[in-house]
Structure formats: C-alpha cells, structure tokens
Chains A and B, each alone.
Chain A
Amino acid sequence: MSSVATSHDREGQRGSLPGLSRHRISNQAGSKPAKSRSQGSRDNINGWAFAAPFLAFFLVFLVWPLLYGLYMSLTGKSLTGANDSLIGFANYAEALADSDMWRSLGNTLYFTVISTVPLVVVALVMAALVNVGLPAQWLWRLSYFAPYLLASTVVSLFFTWMYNPQLGLINNALVSVGLPKVAWLNDPGVAMWAIVIATLWWTVGFNFLLYLAAMQNIPAQHYEAASLDGAGAWRQFFSITLPQLAPTTVMIVLLQILASLKIFDQVYQMTAGGPGGATRPVVQYIFETGFTGYRLGYSAAISYIFFGLIVAVSVIQFFITRRRSA
C-alpha cells in the first residue's frame, strides 16, 4: 500500500504497522458510546490543556496582530504618533488610487508569472535526470539543493558580485564569447529577469527534492508493463511519469505561486526595488510606506489588499485541489 501513496503519505506511515489505520477507526467507533461523563469532561480539560501553549502564542502573535492590523488600516496612525483616530476606508480609497501601489503589485505579479515556470520545469528536469540512477547520488542532490540552505543575503551578495557590470563573472563570460555586456541590475528591462535567475538558483532545489521524492514513489510495475509493450524511454516519461506526477505538480505550482507572491528579500538586497521602481514588489512598498514613510495606517491598508490577493489565490488553489481529489 505504501508504494502507491504519495511521498507525503509514505513518510507519514513510517514506524507504523500494515493495516493499522483500519484498526484504529474501528477501535475509535467502538469506544465512543461507552465513554462516561467524567471521562468526557476530563477529555475537555485535557484537550484544551494540550492546546493551550500553542493557542497562547497563536492568539498573541498571530490573531491579535491580524485584527489589530485591520484596525490600524482604518486609522491615520503613523510612527510619529499623530492622528490615531478612525478615518474609515480612506486609506483603502487612497491605496486603490495610488499608482505606486499598483505598480508594485504589478511587479510582484510579473515576478510570480515569470519565475514559477522555470522554478517548476527546471526542478522537474533535475529530478528526472537524477532519478535515472546516476552514480554518486549525493553529489547531485548536494549541488542542486545546497543553495536552498543559504540566507537571502548570501544569495544576493553572490549574485550582485556575479552581475557586476565591469568585474562580474557573467559579463566577462559574455564578452569572451563575443556577446555584448548586459547591465543586469541597472537596466529596467532586465533587472527582474536577473532577480528571477538568482531566485531560480536559490530555491529550485526545494522543488527538485519534492519531485524526486514523488518520482521514487511511482510503482515499478507501471514501467515494467510499458516496457513489455515496447514503449521507449521518452514515451514512458510522457505516458507514465508525467501523469503520475500530476498531483505533485499541481501542489508544487500552487505552493510556488504563493511563495513567489511574497517576494521581497532578494529584490530589496540586490536592487532596492530599482532601477526607478522597476523591480519594487508590493511587500517592499508595504515596508517603505510603514517604516520609511511612517504611515502605519496606510501601510496596513496595503497589507490587507495584498492579503486579499493571497486569499483569492488560496481559494482558487483550494477548489482546484478539491476537484482533483474528488
């Protein structure tokens, strides 16, 4: 049974015995009606006691700031302490008419669109290559995955240096094969692509690992049957591997979209949003209106507009995955 489960399920069942989940269900059903009243109240106390530590952090550092942010977005609050009074939806009205807000939102969406495809496709190619059974498995995993372990600041330092217009490795390589130099981080038309390349290098290893785990869970019988029917390697990849990976691909794409929408670190560190705002993502705009412009209320309002976008994407994700599993 574990051979057909996803990587997720399989890991979850480690250390368990075959057939135990069926057992558990019948067991649960059998014990419920017999439960005494005192047992029930003890369960109530125990349940909430076990949940209490998590709930305390959850309420103080997640729920409270979420609600307080909503309240702030309806005030004129600023870091200088002026004007704490409620001003209704004025911040939202202002944000919706703010061309800088729309531009930063557009940059975030643009990055999400152009980064998601390579981050999924390159990960798939890497996993397919490694999964063939190359020697020195650890070497490939190390090379492709190691960058994921770096902090964004390290990645930005590496790539700012490689993108250096005069002294950088990349431009020198281009010149040596007769191509013109590129102003990677200073050309408004190129800068976002430079960010995408750095991001691809940094995080593709994560998707690669997820794909690799999923590929190793495809049952061998599928391939054996196809081999007997005379299907070649290419054919097997497209008619067995890819369809078997479909649920994984859906999950990876959706997680990648949600991750890309939160882009901030590498842009802030490599271009500071420039040149001329060409790469500034919406999270940086939230950061700047709040901490450089001191307009906390306005900044909170933009946060909630951004939140609305994330919720919309998540709802779409929910319906897509539910339809798939139904």
Chain B
Amino acid sequence: MATEILTRPATSTARPSASRRTGSRMTPGRAAVLAVAALLAVLWLVPFAWATVTAFKSETDAAAPKISWIPPSGFTADAFVKVFQDGNIPLWTWNSLYTSAAITAITLVISALVAYALSRIDFRGKKVLMVVIIASIIIPPPVLIIPLFYQMVALHMIDTSWAIILPQVIHPAMVFVLKKFFDQIPRELEEAAVMDGASRMRIFLQVVLPLSRPILAAVAIFVFIGAWNNFLWPFIATNDGSILTLPVGLQTIKSAYGIQYAQNMASALLAALPLILVFLFFQRQIIKGVATTGLAGT
C-alpha cells in the first residue's frame, strides 16, 4: 500500500488545480492512499464525534459503565439546556469575541503603520528599530507573566478587559510579514500620489492599504485565532466571572460540573462551535492565512 503513496506527483503536485484534473481514475495505489487518509481522518474526527454523542446523552447514560454510541434512553438536548441555564457560556463567548476583535484591530493598525515606516520611509534609527523588533520575536510570553501581572495591578487594570487586550497586541513577527508584503508593492503607484502632494498618511491609507487586503486578512486570522484561544495570560489577569473569556471560563466550570459528563461535553462543544463555524465558511482564506503567516514564528 505504502509504495503507492505518491502515485501521481508528476501531475498533481505543481498546482492546486492540477489535483482536480487527475482525480478521477481509481488505481489500487490511489485506493490505498485514500484508505490511509480516511483512517487518519476518522481518528481525527473521533474526539469530536464522541464529545457530541456524549453531550446529547442523559447524564445517566453518559456515566453508564457500558459505553454506547446510541444511548439506551435516546438522545436528549438536556445537557445543553442545563448549560445555557446555569452557565455563563453566552456571556463568555461575547467576552472572547470582543476582546479578540479588539486585539486583532489594534494589532492590525499599529503593525501596519510601523511596517509601512520600515518598508518605505528612510528615517534615522530605522535599522536599530528593525533589529530591536526582530530580536523581540524570541521573547516567550510565559516569561512576562509575573512582571506583567504586577504591572497590571499597579495600573489598576487587573480583572478588567484591558488587562486581557493590551498585552496581546504586540506581534513583532506579524510586523515583518506585513513589511515583506509592502516591500513588493511597486513604488510607482505611490509616486503619482506624491506628485499630487499627498501626505504619507494619505498614500498609506489610499494606495498601500487597499493593495494589501490579502495579507491584512491573513494577519487578522492568525492574530484572532491566537487571541480567541489564549489561556495562560487571561487566566492570570482575570478572576471575575463576568469578564472571563471562553477558554478560562470553561476551566472554572470543569470542576463545578465534575462528573456531569454530558454537561462537560456540551459546554466544550458550545465553546468550540464559533470558530469551527467560521472555518466552515472561510476555509480557503483561513488555510491561506495560516500558511502565509505560519512560518514567520511567534
């Protein structure tokens, strides 16, 4: 089976579209590739499936020693109803949404501005600034949690959304992803605007940004996913149940629900749902975005 893993690289690897062209004929080798890929896909989907089945069971069925994919007393949405009633899932989803949106917006604005300066403007100290920002890519966030916590206490920001948002807007690697893209935009396009006496800011807003939509989207996707799922810092910075983000809130109810497995799985699925839905709708953009920004590090 394995010998056929790359049956058709000669025709199928060069362009994404080429794979569609050659996809029809089913040789034994292709069948084997399909079987291995399907096996992996099943393994990767099992945790989702099992969580879903569990969430739609009664608590009694979920905790039954004999496990079942189809529960003896039938499927029920009780666990979801319960979670909605006494949990804070909708509130936490909202908290995650607006903090992640704020982080993404601020990151995009400040990173695009500095990236434009690094790409286009010859100013004194530019090289030093570039080196400092590059060097800062290696700073691991866990190193900062202790002093950052202390700083947030001093600023009276602990247990506010500001504490979640402000430290998460610095993405040096994304600055360089943007700079690299700006470097490729023809200067001629800006020169016409310069002749007209346009300011730097106007050129940036009216010429450069509209041409940079794909890279801005890629950076936005990368930053948003990271912010939406971040655990360590929001976990430290917030304690008040009303401002927790989804990942942190989930950790607090995990112990509250204890052995109520159906409710545990229902809340996990509700927490997973928003990004999975977004992914289903914007699959192409998200995959492209991650592939573009991924190797830049962070």
Contact = CB atoms under 8 A, between A and B. Distances in A.
Interface of A: 3, 6-8, 11-17, 20-21, 23-24, 27-28, 32, 35, 40, 43-48, 50-51, 53-55, 57-58, 60-66, 68-69, 72, 77, 125-126, 128-135, 137-154, 156-159, 161-162, 166-167, 169, 172, 201, 206, 209-210, 212-213, 215-216, 218-220, 223-224, 226-227, 232-234, 236-237, 240-241, 248, 251-252, 255, 258, 261-262, 264-265, 269, 283, 286-287, 290-291, 296, 299-300, 303-304, 306-307, 310-311, 314
B47 A283 contact: no
A237 B5 contact: yes
Interface majority SS (helix, strand, loop, mixed), chain B: helix
Contacts of A27: 187-188
Contacts of B268: 153-154, 157-158
Give the size category of B's interface with A.
Answer: 35 or more
B47 to A, nearest CB: 5
B148 interface: yes
Contacts of B214: 11, 14-15
A213 B291 contact: yes
Interface string B262-298: 0011011001100110011001000110111011110
Nearest to B19: A133
Contacts of B256: none
Contact of A241 (B9, B45, B63, B184): B9
Contacts of A161: 50-51, 54, 261, 264-265
Closest 9 CB pairs of A and B: A47-B123, A220-B14, A133-B19, A50-B117, A133-B12, A69-B147, A151-B247, A223-B10, A213-B291
Contacts of B45: 143
B210 to A, nearest CB: 10
A153 B139 contact: no
A169 B276 contact: no
Given A132-B7, A133-B8, A210-B291, A53 B110 contact: yes
B23 A134 contact: yes
A220 B18 contact: yes
A128 B6 contact: yes
Most chain B CB neighbours (cut-off 10 Å) among A50, A147, A212: A50
A311 B280 CA distance: 38
A142 B45 CA distance: 10
A210 B297 CA distance: 12
A61 B142 contact: no
A201 B47 contact: yes
B148 A61 contact: yes
11 contacts: A61-B170, A65-B144, A66-B144, A141-B287, A149-B225, A154-B247, A209-B294, A216-B14, A223-B11, A241-B13, A307-B139
A303 B236 CA distance: 15
Nearest to B182: A12
A287 B235 CA distance: 11
Contacts of B111: 54
A132 B10 contact: no
A135 B38 CA distance: 11
B155 to A, nearest CB: 9
Given A58-B136, A201-B44, A223-B10, A234 B5 contact: yes
B69 to A, nearest CB: 10
Contacts of A206: 290, 294
B114 interface: yes
B251 interface: yes
Contacts of B180: 12
B33 A28 contact: no
B167 interface: yes
Given A133-B12, A146-B276, A150-B229, A290 B149 contact: yes
A62 B144 contact: yes
Contact of B250 (A77, A141, A153, A210): A153
Nearest to B248: A153
A239 to B, nearest CB: 11
A130 B19 CA distance: 10
Contacts of B271: 151, 153-154
B9 A132 contact: yes
A65 to B, nearest CB: 4
Contacts of B8: 132-133, 233
B81 interface: no
Contacts of A148: 225
Contacts of A237: 5-6, 9
Contacts of B117: 46-48, 50-51
A306 to B, nearest CB: 6
B215 to A, nearest CB: 8
A220 B229 contact: no
Of B46, B64, B110, B214, chain A has the most CB atoms within 10 Å of the CB of B110
A64 B33 CA distance: 53
Nearest to B283: A138
Contacts of B290: 206, 209
B41 A144 contact: yes
Interface in B113-170: 113-114, 116-118, 121-126, 129, 133, 136, 138-151, 166-167, 169-170
Interface string B16-29: 10111011000001
B83 interface: no
